[in-house]
Amino acid sequence: MKKSFATATLLLAVVIAYLLAWPVPIEPVGWSAPTDRGLLDPFEPNDLLGAAVGIDLKGHEGPEDATVGLDGRIYATTHSGHVIQIQDGQVREFAFPGGRPLGIETSVDGSLIIANAYLGLQRVERDGNVSTLLSDINGQPLVYANNAAIGPDGTIFFSESSSKFGAQSSSGTYEASLLDIMEHGGHGRVFAFSPSTGDVEVLLEKLNYANGVAVSADGRFLLVSETGHYRVLKHWLAGDRKGSTEVLLDNLPGFPDNLKNGAQGRFWLGLAAPRNHLLDQISDRPFMRKIVQRLPAFLRPKAVPSSHVIAFDGDGEILMNLHDAGARFPTLTGVLEVDDALYLTTLFGDQLPRLDKQDL
């Protein structure tokens, strides 16, 4: 009995020592998460995405972002490193940027601009040829380019979600996002890049997981998803307020992901997952967040399956709030709006959901 008790005591001491002192890659910074109001007005649950139908991607997975080419076809980024082309339900491999392409936009000349989490900013020509536009800034490699937007003058705005937790070095974009959000150390940045001159300007820094970006049609302001802070920022690019930044949407009920321009001046935002109660509760307790990071992966906070996207205008008024009650297509990152349909981009899964507008 004494031997068993001694063994149990030793094991308990080892576990406690591990939870208190084992090295982890994060150095959490304390902050006060806003109280989660949940899915209240204007975010009430519904089933408006219930009629969405998935397009089989023929073995490809993770259509994280999509764009419409000048040829009218849909182009989407995938986990395999391919850009796929979709037309009338038919899917084919169009280009291979490699790495993990995330954000994708169509430029005025018909080429595709890619924010590649592993490789930086890329261009895909209309014949599928891939070139690198930007892989480092002042000799510092881009380690987690995420989303992109193109201004009316051709300027490419893009986010680097974290300059500390690289997507490739962290074994994936999702894994890196968990580390950056758990640390809350302000490693995210947003850049403006001029393809004609090669000049790069830091527009925003010290963000907590910089994510989606979208620029207004007139180029007067840029919107940025700050995932780790549950909000969308509005950064003025022109006018009397040029260079200033304000909070446009605050205390969102989920983790904001991609931003995309829609019709009639609206912007679409994917809420990839609901907020995590434990993560909010220990936001101001850095040491506890270290302990949580030492737990087995299955016990740490993670994305809960849900399907939720919203649309809003440049003043922050919520225009649409769309859910799928069954979360058939979980972890929605955003929306590509075309004349007659909405395409719902996703972080995981082997389908690209399509919702006919007439079914809304």
Domain CATH code at residue 252: 2.120.10.30
Q: What's residue 19's pLDDT?
A: 55
The angle subtended at Cα 220 by Cα 157 and Cα 114, nearest 5°, is 20
Q: Is residue 153 part of a domain?
A: yes
Is the peptide bond prior to 296 cis by the omega test (within 30 degrees of 0)? no
Q: Is residue 215 part of a domain?
A: yes
Q: What's residue 298's pLDDT?
A: 86
Q: What's residue 7's pLDDT?
A: 60
Residue ranges making up the domain that contains 202: 39-359
**Three-state SS at 345:** strand
From first to last of its 360 residues, the chain has per-residue pLDDT tens of 566 655 655 555 555 554 555 678 999 999 999 999 999 999 999 999 999 999 999 999 999 999 999 999 999 999 999 999 999 989 999 999 999 999 999 999 999 999 999 999 999 999 999 999 999 999 999 999 999 999 999 999 999 999 999 999 999 999 999 999 999 999 999 999 999 999 999 999 999 999 999 999 999 999 999 999 999 999 999 999 999 999 999 999 999 999 999 999 999 999 999 999 999 999 999 999 999 999 898 888 888 899 999 999 999 999 999 999 999 999 999 999 999 999 999 999 999 999 999 988
For residue 306, the number of C-alpha atoms closer than 13 Å in the C-beta half-sphere is 21
What's the total number of domains in the chain?
1
Q: Which residues of 320-354 are buried (b: 16+ CB within 10 A; e: fewer)?
A: bbbbbeeebbbbbbbbbbeeebbbbbbbbbbbbbb
Q: What's residue 4's pLDDT?
A: 66
Q: Is residue 156 part of a domain?
A: yes
Q: What's residue 297's pLDDT?
A: 84
User: Could you give the CA distance from residue 327 to residue 325 in angstroms, rounded to a whole number?
Assistant: 6
Q: Is residue 19 part of a domain?
A: no
The answer to whether 289 and 301 have CB atoms below 8 angstroms apart is: no
Distance spanning both ends of the chain, measured CA to CA: 68
The answer to whether 300 and 178 have CB atoms below 8 angstroms apart is: yes
Q: What's residue 21's pLDDT?
A: 55
Q: Is residue 15 part of a domain?
A: no
Q: Is residue 5 part of a domain?
A: no
Q: Where does residue 296 rank: exposed (0-12), middle (13-18), buried (19+ CB within 10 A)?
A: exposed
Q: Is residue 83 part of a domain?
A: yes
Any residues with CB less than 8 A from the CB of 64 and at least 6 apart, and which? 76, 77, 78, 79, 101, 102, 103, 258, 333, 345, 346, 347
Q: Is residue 247 part of a domain?
A: yes
